[in-house]
Structure formats: structure tokens, C-alpha cells
Structure 1
């Protein structure tokens, strides 16, 4: 298994295309009309959007039975559109709650499609080398309790770095976001203070400390890139493709770990073997393996239990089956965690129930 390859010309072209799509607020181009006239639309999480756009580009080129498109609008909006039946499929990094599922007249089937890592990217000009952030330190940064980069607790963890006496500016999501849920679910799991004194866990929060905000992962990434002294939570893909430095985080075992696809895959495989729920809502907010990167999450496609048009159900099942198999190596090439075999098997079984 390869580890996060360097940026190729092809990957750069894909990334530029994705950024243009995201910034323009438009969904992916179906390329050509389907001869059958079957158009399938989806909307939701920005966390997996670069991967979904690339999957759609490749899948549309391989078959002509249907044309797929996807709009990255955030997990919260994606769930709303899915419940309102304004799309053929949704996508969310926070899955759906029981209450949300109960609102879907046609039933909802949650399919894990990919997985990824939420990273803390930062902008500190002149600071070279690995920035290490202990668990209690990055919690307190986002609680607004640590507000300067040369705070003694940050300095103690990074004795070899020349940290500036500069204000820390956190950057967070302003839209309903599965990435926010993944990050705050982790913070709430490792820190009682986050739940008791902070904003808690959710997809849209009232952040302390006058945080800057951005829309979508790409919005937060760009805000970090142009703001000296900033730090924010984003999906790994966006940080790497924009060349943003990424903090090394301390895990439950006390080790400092960089994002790593192999470690993330092993973490998910073990968790699925131990406790995969029937509805496939598997969360791993604080993995305990010694080599585990601490913020790993699945990302789900939201499909209806029944579709009025049988051809639409068949087309979706075929496309998702392709994504679960052929699409996983593509996921790794873009910096996502390819799903382990036991999760692919569980997702494939769930897919068969769709009518």
C-alpha cells in the first residue's frame, strides 16, 4: 500500500477543477447527456467532495446509462436536501440521526463510501519543522484558553521550534458540517471541559474566542493560507493540495502521530470487527492503538430505501458498487483512507436492500 503520493500533474488538474467548481457553487458537469435521459443528482459533505467529483468523472466516462453529478454544500445542507427528496442521494460525514432518518418517507440506507482524517493545518511563517500539539493543548486552543503561539505549553512540546509571540487565530466552519461533527466529537470524547465549558458536539456550533469562519473545507483552507498565525480543522486532502503545514497530534496512547492512510485503515478495520452497528453508523472518535492518528472518520452516502423509478435504483446501486471496489484505490491516491474489506462487505450487503 502506498502512502500519500506526491502531487502529480493530473492530480493538480483535478484539484484546480474541483476548486473552480466549489468556488463557483456549481455541481459537477455531467459531461454529456445520458442516452437514456437518466440524470442522478446528489449533494452534501465537502469532506469527500474531491473524491466524489473524481469518481463521477471517471464513472461517467465508463458508462452511458446514467449521468451523475454532485454538489458539495456541507453535510447539514445535504441531509436537509435528502430529507426533502430534493436530490437522488445525499452525503454526510456525521451520518444521520435516528430523528432525521424517521423523517425520510422512503426510508434511508447509510452506506460508508470512504474515510478520511481531519487535520489541524496552520500558518506560521518562519517556523520550520514538526509542530507537535498535545491533546490538552489543541483542545484549549479551540476553547480560547491558549491564545498565543509562544504559550509555555506549546513551547514545552516543541523545544526545537522558534515559536513567535503571535496571537493564535482559529478558523472554523460557518456552515453545517460533518467535518465539524467529526472534530468536535473527538474533542468531546477526549475532554470533559469541551462538553462542560465549550460549545459541545455538533455540525454547527457557536465557537468561543472570535474564531474566523469559512464555508466548506476549501473555504477554511483558503482562510488559513492567507492568515498568518491561524490554525483550523480541515480534511487532509485540502491541506496537502494547498501545501499547508499540518500539526502532529498526540493520540490516546500518548504518541505523536502524523496522518497516515495505513494506520487509519487498520483503526477502522479493528473498530468494524469489534462493533459495527447494523445501521453502519460506526464512529471512532478516539482510537486507542499506539500508531493511530487520533481523528479518523467514515463518510457516508445517503440513499433511499426505495426509488419510484427502478432504473434509478439500479443505476445508483451499480455506481456505488463501483465506488466500493474500483473507487477505493482512487481514494487513496487523493489522500483518503481506502475502506478495509470488512466495511466494504458490510456496505455491499446494505446496498442490496435498496429497491
Structure 2
């Protein structure tokens, strides 16, 4: 849906309300060390994935410390809203828990870009945790089929045999399961359902989708924080969220091959490094084709690869300079370690960083 002129102003106004400051260092496209050495100035507006919220806070803080005359505003409005805001020219960049599909790129529009070509790359890699709140149970082991049946409503009790057989040492109550899902269009939902569609196709038949299927029922909640809050404050609840926000909730180990694997940044990074780039993309569109069915030891398959998206050529040269510098800081070693400390994400590999920097360098 195309944003009206009023909606664009409202979007920018809402984004501008979120300005973060703190301390960190910077490198690559942005100046390092004393902020007095930076020649950058202006306001940079971004919006999108709520999964990136903690990381964006750290990135904004570090970048603004090194570039005192720059203000970066990021609104964690959700992946779908972020992509739309970027397409309509109301933000200079977007965060998204999936890359644009090739037909979406062809259809456009990208009103802030001088051409229809975009730069997109994975900037934030994190496992998606399956979180639950069942009294007396801190951890569970589940295979893909059982997870699919829980979230589709086929399994409705916590002491169902499919759960109990995989968790013989757990005391599971005769209690109804309340499955919580994202109510908004969400890249986290897209990644979660992509795993279910690949790993349990007979039990999850609706495919990889970003909007939750209404026929499955359950409780909807807005954004990552909404899902976490609903699971935390409910009884017998289960949901899915970026692992950085799982907190003290119970979490699920996922069956991979013959083993059960707990989520970790290392396990998330392992599946990304083992997966190829998608075919049919331009040189600077670095979408990853994740292998959700890998049986390699230590791989956690429910991983969120969250992208940053910008124009290859901006209509406004000032946006190009700021985006290029900010993106370069984010993918730098300092930027990635800052996000890891703030959000528990997995730093990108050196090989992937090189490919990404080449894409960023193309921005003009």
C-alpha cells in the first residue's frame, strides 16, 4: 500500500522521536576515535525489524559518538513496515528479517533511489528461540514435527505423548497449550515458518509466510516485545522470538539429525556460513539461501538473518554518504562485536564481511 504524503511525514516524525546516544568506536566508512575528526553531519532515518532493536541501539550509540554532528533514528516498526517505509522514500534505509523477493524488487517502487537497484546484506545474525512458560519446566527437547503440531493447534496439551516422549525427565502438566504468534507481518514469523515448512512439510503445510495463518488460532501479539510479554504473563504459553529477548523464559532445544541443539550465536553463525547466496540476484544483493534441514553437528536451524537495505544510488547524495558510512560501521569488526555484546548476536565471518563491504562501497 502506498503511503500518502501525510503518512510519510508521520512516519518520519515517529522515527525522529527515537534518538539514541552512547559510546563506542567506529571504523571503515566512518571516522574513528575522537568525534571532532568526523566531517559527517546530518540526520539519517531508518525503520524496520524489531529484532534489530537492541543491536541498532548499540550501533547508533557508537556511530553518533564517533560522528557528533550526525543523528541516526531507527524505528523498530517491524520488517514489513520497514520495507514499505523504505520503498516509499520515508526512510533512507530499512532493517528486515528477510531480503526483498526478486519480484518485489522488480515491481518497486523505491522512491528514495535514483534507480531500481538496491543493496541488501545480512547484518544481524541470531537464533530464534522457542520460548515457553510452564511452571517447573526450564527446558524442553522437541523435533520439528512436534513444534509444527503445537503451533498449528494439533497438539493442545503440555503432557501430550509427542512432547513427553522426548522429555522423559520433565514433569509436564495436564494443561492447555496457549501458542503465541506475531500479529503483525513479521520477518521473524517468516524465518520461523520457513524452518517449519522445510523441516516438517507434512505437518506444516502453509509454507513460509510472514503473516500468521488465522485458521491456526492462537494468541497474536505485536512485535517481538509483545510476544515475549504475552508468553511471560500467560500460563502454559509458548511462542517464538529473537533469542536476545528470551530472558528467563524456558527455551527449546531443537532436534538436528540425531541430536538436540540449544540455540547459541555460534550455532546460528554455523548455518549461515554453510549456506550459499541466493541465485538470480544482482552483485550487491547478498541474500542468503539458508539450509534449514542441515544435519551437521552443532547447527541450530531456526536462525534469523536480518538484513540492512539501502539504495545502490540515492536521489539525495547526503543520504548516500550517511548510509554508506553507517553501514560500514555496522559490518566492521567493532560494529559486529558491539552488537554481540548488546544483543547476543553472532558476528559475521571475515569472508562474508568482505563481500558485504564491496556491496556497501557501491553505494553512491
TM interval, short-chain normalised? 0.7 to 0.9
Corresponding residue number in structure 2 for 1:328: 336
User: Please, which of 131, 136, 144 is the counterpart of residue 126 of structure 1?
Assistant: 136
> Please, what TM-score do these two structures have when normalized by structure 2?
0.83
Whether 2:162 is the aligned partner of 1:153: answer yes
Q: Which residue of 1 aligns with 2:109?
A: 104
Deviation at 1:127, TM superposition (A): 2.3
Unaligned stretches of 5+ in structure 2?
Answer: 1-13, 23-37
CA deviations on 1:49-79 (whole Å, 9 max, x unpaired) are 1101111022112212421110001101111
Q: Residue 35 and residue 321 in structure 1: after superposition, are their counterparts in 2 closer, same or farther (change >3 A)?
A: closer
Structural mapping, 1:279-298, within 5 Å: 279-284=285-290, 285-298=292-305
Task: Name the CA shift for 1:219/1:75 in 2 (closer, same or farther; >3 Å).
Answer: same
Answering whether residue 214 of structure 2 is matched by residue 210 of structure 1, we say no
The verdict on how the C-alpha distance between 1:104 and 1:269 changes in structure 2, with shifts beyond 3 A counting, is same
Output the CA distance in 2 between the equivalents of 1:37 and 1:260: 38
3-state DSSP of counterpart to 2:165: helix
Deviations 1:103-132 (A, max 9, x none): 03433211221111111000001225x311
What's the CA shift string for 1:16-51, capped at 9, x where partnerless? xxxxxxxx997531559x997611100001111110
Query: Of the candidates 247, 252, 257, which is equivalent to residue 252 of structure 2?
Result: 247
Task: Return structure 1 stretches of 4+ with deviation > 4 angstroms.
Answer: 24-27, 34-37, 272-278
Q: Residues 222-276 of structure 1: CA distance to partner in whole angstroms, max 9, x if unpaired?
A: 0000001000010001103xx111111112x131000122222222222248989
The 1:142–1:111 alpha-carbon spacing in structure 2 relative to 1, beyond 3 Å, is same
> Which residue number corresponds to residue 273 of structure 2?
269
Shift of 1:353: 1.4
- Measure, in 1, the Cα distance between the counterparts of 2:152 and 2:297: 26
8 Å CA contact 1:272–1:343 kept in 2: the answer is no
Residue 88 and residue 194 in structure 1: after superposition, are their counterparts in 2 closer, same or farther (change >3 A)? farther
Cα separation, 1, equivalents of 2:217 and 2:15: 27
CA RMSD of superposed structures (Å): 2.4
Partner of 1:48: 52
The answer to whether residue 106 in structure 2 is matched with residue 116 in structure 1 is: no
CA separation of 1:270 and 1:31: change in aligned 2, threshold 3 A: closer
* Contact residue 47 and residue 82 of structure 2 kept, 8 A: yes
User: Distance in 2 between the 1:192 and 1:72 partners?
Assistant: 31
Counterparts in 2 of 1:90 and 1:84: CA distance versus 1, 3 Å:
same
Query: CA separation of 1:52/1:276 partners in 2, compared to 1, >3 Å: closer, same or farther?
Result: farther
